[in-house]
Structure 1
Amino acid sequence: MPAVPPAPPVPPLAPDLLEFDADFSGPELDLEQWVPHYLPQWSSRERTRARYDVGDGVLRLRVDADQPAWSVEYDGATQVSNLQTAVRSGPVGSASGQHPFREGLVVREAQGERRLFTPQFGRIEVVAAIDDVDEHAMAALWMIGVEDDPTQSAEICVFEVYGRDIADDGSALVGMGVHPFNDPTITDDFEQVRVHDDVREPHTYTVDWRPDEVVFSIDGLVRKRVAQSPQYPMQLMLNVYAFPPAERVEAGYPESFAVHAVRGYRHE
């Protein structure tokens, strides 16, 4: 049987289609592009404040040893540094808030609505080097519904990489796909694909989100297609997680990775 030819590379989009351009060229994080907190409605802005460095055109998101767990009530000891492009919630005591990642969530600190970049369809790409996460950490870029309606809650995972899935030569399993959460129109379709290149070096992770499908690629080569698509505005979630083990071990803090650019395009 003849070999199946590889898929053609994803063509670049015209520069005039660019709508969101985080190149980290300034001396500080652009707070007109990013909210530097992780789902603060389920905790507080203080406990969810991101830690990061910006310099020489690179953002380094990091979790430090002394960083508090972002929500002991709902997520145990998990620590997160996250940048997101929108935030909203209902009043304290309500269940109205973004990303219902478990049952029983209650708003602990109300968040005023802020929408910085909330596309509906388009291309999202991130250039990242997953260079300093150990077996107790994970780096990711994903998208969630802004949730004007509770059913508008699906996730598009552009990439996620656990330190435990990075081999000594830098090859890794990279997660990508969609999760439904409370969206009845989406079926879970997620997998880890094997990447033989060194993920500790910069690579471009891309999602093309269209009305009828979501296409995932790495360095311009298609790695996964999903024949379904969320039909509402979504926001970006760029983050590094640390999952401290129950028994304290010699920690690899800071857990971190380098981001060279995040861009969002509309399709022609």
Structure 2
Amino acid sequence: MPPAPPVPPPAPDLLEFDADFSGPELDFDQWLPYYLPQWSSRERTRARYDVGDGVLRLRVDADQPAWAPEFDGTTQVSNLQTAVRSGPVGSDVGQHPFRDGLVVREAQADRRRYTPHFGRIEATVAIDGIDEHAMAALWMIGLEEEPTQSAEICVFEVFGRDIRPDGSALVGIGVHPFRDPSISDEFERVPFAGDVREPHRYAVDWRPDEVVFSIDGVVAKRVAQSPQYPMQLMLDVFAFPPAPPAAAAYPESFAVYAVRGYRLG
């Protein structure tokens, strides 16, 4: 089988979202530093991170509380997202209802920093600080103005347990339907021979008829289906604390050099 063709780079004038972390602080005009706070609270889900020298380091610390113990057990997360909305407290209206029985614990005003509808999304990251009890990821979810507008595009996800001693790894990419009947689950963990602990560019070209996934400009997967509504970005590191006497190697973290979004040409 011939090698996959490279993905042509987008034109610079199509750039509409440019998070290069060149400033001394996180740009709150681009990011909301919480994780699905409607199912918990902004305070409990507040991200931990450092910004300096053009690098964002998202991290989960040992003393970080579980983000939603009622719904997700001991899972800890530091997440940056580009939009949020919910219904009133006690309702079930909110983005990414990841399990049955969720109810809004803290109502969220409609805030939209970046909500593309087709285009290219890419992130340059080094997954250099997670162990087998953590995962780093960039994914996109629907705004859910209608409940069916709920699919996910996973730009990349890497579990520490899938990173080999030489840095090669399985990289999760694909789409999940959740409540979108027009999308079928099409997700896989593709082998990547490069060292994920070094910076690499993970991207999706999201078009009306397909989603093309690439790593360093080389096509890794094509999906012949496509969510047809605006989506938001979710950039995060998860930690899954093991049962004692096992222990995770905190802080769980990874380095982000840039996240960019381009309009379709």
TM-score, normalised with respect to structure 2: 0.99
Tell me which residue corresponds to 2:244: 247
Tell me which residue corresponds to 2:264: 267
Cα deviation, 1:130-188, whole Å, max 9, x if unaligned, reads 00100000000000001100110000000000000000000000000000000010000
* Structure 1: 4+ residue segments shifted above 4 A: none
What are the residue-to-residue correspondences of 1:85-234 with 2, within 5 Å? Answer: 85-234=82-231
What RMSD over aligned residues (CA atoms) do the two structures have, in Å? Answer: 0.6
TM-score, normalised with respect to structure 1: 0.98
Give unpaired runs (5+ residues) of structure 2. Answer: none
Aligned letter for 1:103? Answer: D
Cα deviation, 1:64-114, whole Å, max 9, x if unaligned, reads 000000000000000000000000000000000000110111000000010
Q: Percent identity?
A: 80
Instruction: Provide the C-alpha distance between the structure 2 equivalents of 1:24 and 1:49, rounded to a whole number of angstroms.
Output: 19
What are the residue-to-residue correspondences of 1:5-16 with 2, within 5 Å? Answer: 5-16=2-13
Alpha carbons 2:141, 2:151 under 8 Å: kept: yes
- Give the length in aligned residue pairs: 265
CA apart distance, 1:248:
4.1
Instruction: Provide the C-alpha distance between the structure 1 equivalents of 2:230 and 2:130, rounded to a whole number of angstroms.
Output: 31
CA apart distance, 1:250:
3.3
Instruction: Provide the C-alpha distance between the structure 2 equivalents of 1:117 and 1:259, rounded to a whole number of angstroms.
Output: 18
Tell me which residue corresponds to 1:52: 49
Tell me which residue corresponds to 2:232: 235
2:72 is matched with which residue: 54, 71, 75?
75
Cα deviation, 1:28-53, whole Å, max 9, x if unaligned, reads 00000000000000000010000000
Instruction: Provide the C-alpha distance between the structure 2 equivalents of 1:69 and 1:33, rounded to a whole number of angstroms.
Output: 25
